[in-house]
């Protein structure tokens, strides 16, 4: 089957590679022509322009856009004069599900099909496969089943759940989640959960990292909470080894823990990172949905707010806390440590 892949960043190029490994044909395009040339050297057909890219696709075309959310609408506007009724536009990035519903409504009168596909797997997807959460018309989703099958990890990627018989596509690693927007809605919540899991690991390992606090000197004054039993906190834990042992038989074993163990093994102090943690929108949108649904989500909200703090967004609040303590009690700030 032929698929156009528009956007050859960290995931787009590997998606094309995985499809070609499975025997599918890929036509690719990216504003960075060196990325296109790299893929053509590996067997893809490359477009030198958007028009050339479209011309090399056989109607009815299927085009997968692997782009940052902010670039999807402008790209669709550029594609609209070039595509024809029956063509399929697929957004494989992390768009807001509201936008998917709007886009599908705008494209439908022209006979253009639209699918929203949440893609999880990151830079490891080429070999591990991609978990695919799909929204849109059932017939269009089914038409592209060979593509989903090739990209998904396959049934052998996880131990079969008791009572399952292998007939659901979910057991193969892809799922038609519902109408337009459903794919990105499920991926949105997936990423919100991901934030919470990552924050839990980060906080837990930080507690382990500081379990030797009893060995450190502390100021004895009115500004410093005393450590009542320093003899209880004399542990110098090997975090890399703990991550490694947790990978085996532990309730918290997971791929995220595997990656954590890898990072700690390569650099136990993580000194190659600043701790400036970005968020790409899905965590915020998950909380928006939780509020609209009146669903409490304290863990997911705390995880998102921790990312804000990591970037210094709490600086004014922290300064104001210090200012208020000084104003009501003459408490002077102490330095870090």
Which positions are catalytic?
187, 194
Q: d(Cα 128, Cα 123) in Å, to the nearest integer?
A: 9
Cα 44-49-50 angle, rounded to 5 deg: 90
Q: d(Cα 117, Cα 64) in Å, to the nearest integer?
A: 9
Phi, psi angles (nearest 5°) of residue 79: -80, -30
Instruction: Name, in order, each residue with C-beta under 8 angstroms of 124's C-beta and a sequence gap of 6 or more.
Output: none
Residue 211 burial by CB count (10 A; 0-12/13-18/19+): exposed, middle or buried?
middle
The CA-based dihedral angle spanning residues 11, 263, 281, 152, taken in that order and rounded to the nearest 10 degrees:
40
Tokens 């080429």 -> residue? 126
Name the nearest CA neighbour of 11 among 136, 129, 172, 153: 129
Q: d(Cα 309, Cα 3) in Å, to the nearest integer?
A: 42
Q: DSSP readout, 144-170?
A: THHHHHHHS--GGGSPPPTT--S-SGG
Q: Specify which residues 135 forms β-bridges with.
A: 116, 178
H or E element that contains 143: helix 138-143
Q: d(Cα 294, Cα 290) in Å, to the nearest integer?
A: 6
Name the nearest CA neighbour of 61 among 39, 82, 31: 82
Q: d(Cα 94, Cα 97) in Å, to the nearest integer?
A: 9
H or E element that contains 208: helix 182-209
Q: d(Cα 265, Cα 259) in Å, to the nearest integer?
A: 10
């Amino acid at each position: 089957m032929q698929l156009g892949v528009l956007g050859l960043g960290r995931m787009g190029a590997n998606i094309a590679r995985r499809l070609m490994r499975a025997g599918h044909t890929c036509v690719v395009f990216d504003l960075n022509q060196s990325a296109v040339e790299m893929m053509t050297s590996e067997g893809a057909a490359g477009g030198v322009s958007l028009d050339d890219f479209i011309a090399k696709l056989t109607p009815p075309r299927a085009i997968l856009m692997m782009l940052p959310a902010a670039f999807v609408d402008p790209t669709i506007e550029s594609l609209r004069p070039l595509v024809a009724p029956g063509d399929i536009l697929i957004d494989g990035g992390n768009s807001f599900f509201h936008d998917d519903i709007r886009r599908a409504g705008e494209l439908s009168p022209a006979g253009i099909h639209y699918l929203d596909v949440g893609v999880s797997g990151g830079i490891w997807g080429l070999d591990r496969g991609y978990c695919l959460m799909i929204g849109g018309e059932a017939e269009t989703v089914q038409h592209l089943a060979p593509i989903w099958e090739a990209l998904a990890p396959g049934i052998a990627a996880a131990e079969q759940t008791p009572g399952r018989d292998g007939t659901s596509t979910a057991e193969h690693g892809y799922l038609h989640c519902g109408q337009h927007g459903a794919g990105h809605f499920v991926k949105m919540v997936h990423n919100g959960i991901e934030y919470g899991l990552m924050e839990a690991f980060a906080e837990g390992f930080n507690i382990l990292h500081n379990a030797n606090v009893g060995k450190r000197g502390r100021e004895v004054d009115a500004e410093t909470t005393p450590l009542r039993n320093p003899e209880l906190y004399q542990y110098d834990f090997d975090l890399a080894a703990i991550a490694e042992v947790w990978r085996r038989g532990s309730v918290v074993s997971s791929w995220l823990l595997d990656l954590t163990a890898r990072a700690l093994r390569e650099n136990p102090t993580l000194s190659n990172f600043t701790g400036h943690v970005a968020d790409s929108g899905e965590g915020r949108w998950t909380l928006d949905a939780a509020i609209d649904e009146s669903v409490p989500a304290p863990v997911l909200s705390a995880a998102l707010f921790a990312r804000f703090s990591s970037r210094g967004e709490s600086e004014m609040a922290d300064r104001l806390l210090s200012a208020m303590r000084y104003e009501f009690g003459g408490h002077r700030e102490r330095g870090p440590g």
